[in-house]
Structure 1
Amino acid sequence: MGYARAVLAARQAVRSVFADLDPGTPILVACSGGSDSLALALAVSAEARTAAVIPYALTVDHGILPGSDERAANLVNMLAEHMPARSIRIDPSGTEGPEGSARTGRYRVIADEARAIGGPALVLLGHTMDDQAETVLMGLGRGSGPRSIAGMTPRGSVPGAPDVPVARPFLRLTRTALQDALRGWETPWWDDPSNRVDGPWRTADGQPLRRVAVRERALPALSEALGIDVREPLARTASLIQDDLDYLDGVAGAALADARGENGLRLDALRPLHRAIRTRVLRAWLLEEGARPGELSGWHLAAVDRLIDGETGRGVDIPGLRATRTRDCLVRVVE
């Protein structure tokens, strides 16, 4: 893709999101300075006036790499030529490991900023076809079922903040295309060393971060083995599965409403359900009760499903809670 075509593709992707918005809608671009999010910020700047939306930009400084504060300040100065911009520094320490804790902290401040500037503002994220392919492959590796393989949705909400809407305009564009767009805009980007297998962040056992390893090792190896670039087929698979999930989730939502009892989920309403619907009902209920979304696996759902025909008083520990069964209901154990 030539530079001019890449610029046009980035702008058209953003334009398609703006087409459904009312004039005056506030937009928050989450920008790290990397190629994907920087191309997003420039595309938003190019399209905002015609769409009559109000753009803002936010960069999150994790404070881990040397000079991160200076990089954040320089990025804000550059973004300020296009839209109001600021940076927020977070403490990425936590119990989820370096990658998970940074992600949780980053989305928390993005959601807070969106609420502060709008009712709340629509958050735009620069996830690409590459990111989608990585997400699908990681979901396959975890064996967590079609929901993991469905990857990221073009529209949804900020993780951990269901009240804050989010859009991902670039899921059909590759990272290479966005880098070509930035070359067309004559704008340099920052390559985060944390996104390399030899980067400074490691897992608890000293291995490269999982997503980075999938990006630099697994995807190239799979493409070579199959003789094709697997990014587009994996992303297309995610889109097809999302259509199926939308329908099944609608059916499960009605089943969940019917199964609700005074103390929990009624066993007599759960037993007749097809397992594909029943496990969706259980997942939705567990998340409502406080299960942690990123840690709730297919194994947990299968274990809770077995409680339905198990012995009264038996329970299953779920990340974030414990589920057990009484004579006629599944209930959350209150500690």
Structure 2
Amino acid sequence: MARRPRLLPTVGTARNLLAAGLEGIVDRAPTGSPALPLVLVACSGGPDSLALAAVAAHAAHTGRCRVGAVVVDHGLQPGSADVAARAAETVRGLGLDPVEVRTVSVDRTGMGPEAAARTARYSALDDAAAVHGAAAVLLGHTLDDQAEQVMLGLARGSGTRSLAGMPGRRGLYLRPFLELRRIDTEAICAFYGLEPWHDPTNEDRAFARSRVRQEVLPFLEDQLGPGIAQALARTARILGQDADLLEQLSSEAYAGLRTEGDDGAVLLPEDGLRALPAALRQRVLALAALELGAFQPSSERLRAAESLLDRRGSAGPVQLGGKVSVHRQVRGRAVLRGDASYGNLVLSSNGSNNGPGVKQSRRPTQE
């Protein structure tokens, strides 16, 4: 009888990480029980997602859950359909079921190619999870991906949430391998005898992420010593906790300040905004803009909106993006039915007649 290969320590670590990630999402049940929840692996055929599929297959074999997979074909490279088909065949061989390939159309309007592909991919994964009633969708991002994400955020001058990188869990999505290195997933694939596909775009210096991976992080390791990737991932973990708290506090502040004006406008009292710390004040303004359908406003746009509170110069409007603007309510102009009111910042989407610059029968008094 052939001896079973000794369990690779990295495989054991990966299994434990997945089990910890699934806590509270799936409950242990007898093997084959129809009540077992379904977990889907988002699989590209690369080392990270194939390693995750193999580890998830073990969870299925031990009766923790059912495991299927979704392979998204973006159609952006020659032969992508063949790559997707091979990935699907590989995970079926691991025992995953159901397995489906979803071909998407990537719309690059208003965003770069990476962002457009990501948007299309998550839309396909959302749909697949809904169709199959999945309890979770597993993503194969590693510590190296997290480090790259933080470095890109630093280069853009991003805020706390962006520098917090990718969360281990958000909604249906789980990233159980954020403590593993990319070399670990390659070792897991070798242990299971899997031959992963290597995405050529990962070597293409035309993409900022590839330059960070191939040039920036190795340079920092050379100049500052080993451990840069781990340090960046640790930074993301710390900032993630800070961002969660700030978002909770800003949501509470927004709920306490927000008043709905006529024509769907959102009113925020100036005195209440001034009383908030700047970190919360900017987040409250962003929440109002998002509620009205804006994209996440830039820090420059939020500071411009804050400047209206100084009551010097123009009363606005300040454009916050996504056809949402904010202006300072001028004396004598009502934004609620009834008597004229005063002392609010008014956020409205285009088409509202609340703005001070819109022609009307009664021209507001400027200060």
TM-score between the two structures when normalised by the length of structure 2: 0.81
Q: Is the 8 A contact 1:308 1:330 kept in 2?
A: no
Asked if 1:169 is matched to 2:200, the reply is no
In 2: Cα distance, 1:113 partner to 1:245 partner = 30
User: Could you give the per-residue CA deviations for residues 179-215 of structure 1, whole angstroms, max 9, x where no partner exists?
Assistant: 11111111110100011125xxxxxxxxx11111111
User: Could you give the per-residue CA deviations for residues 116-164 of structure 1, whole angstroms, max 9, x where no partner exists?
Assistant: 111x53111111101110111111111122221111111113xxxxxxx
Asked if 1:142 is matched to 2:161, the reply is no
Give the counterpart of 1:16 among 20, 38, 42.
20
| 1:1-335 equivalences in 2 (<5 Å) | 4-23=8-27, 24-50=36-62, 52-81=64-93, 82-83=95-96, 84-95=98-109, 96-118=111-133, 121-157=135-171, 165-198=172-205, 208-263=206-261, 264=266, 265-293=268-296, 296-310=297-311, 313-327=315-329, 328-335=344-351
Unmatched segments (≥5 aa) in structure 1? 158-164, 199-207
Q: Is the 8 A contact 1:63 1:89 kept in 2?
A: yes
In 1: Cα distance, 2:254 partner to 2:11 partner = 45
Larger Rg: 2
Q: Is the 8 A contact 2:317 2:328 kept in 1?
A: no
The percent identity for this pair of structures is 37
Give 1:3 deviation, angstroms.
7.6
- Tell me: CA distance 1:326–1:51, structure 2 relative to 1, closer, same or farther (3 Å): farther
- Higher alpha-carbon deviation: 145-154 or 284-293: 284-293
In 2: Cα distance, 1:33 partner to 1:171 partner = 18
User: Could you give the per-residue CA deviations for residues 5-55 of structure 1, whole angstroms, max 9, x where no partner exists?
Assistant: 121122111111123223322211110001111111111111124353221
In 2: Cα distance, 1:316 partner to 1:182 partner = 53
In 2: Cα distance, 1:292 partner to 1:121 partner = 29
In 1: Cα distance, 2:209 partner to 2:7 partner = 28
Corresponding letter in the other structure for 1:77: E
- More helix as a share of residues: 1
Give 1:313 deviation, angstroms.
4.3
Aligned residues: CA RMSD: 1.9
Q: Is the 8 A contact 1:258 1:269 kept in 2?
A: no
Corresponding letter in the other structure for 1:235: A
Q: Point out which structure has higher relative CO (alpha carbons under 8 A, 6+ apart).
A: 1
Give 1:297 deviation, angstroms.
2.7
- Higher alpha-carbon deviation: 323-332 or 170-179: 323-332
In 1: Cα distance, 2:314 partner to 2:300 partner = 21
Partner of 1:308, secondary structure, is helix
Unmatched segments (≥5 aa) in structure 2? 1-5, 28-35, 330-343, 352-367
Give 1:77 deviation, angstroms.
1.5
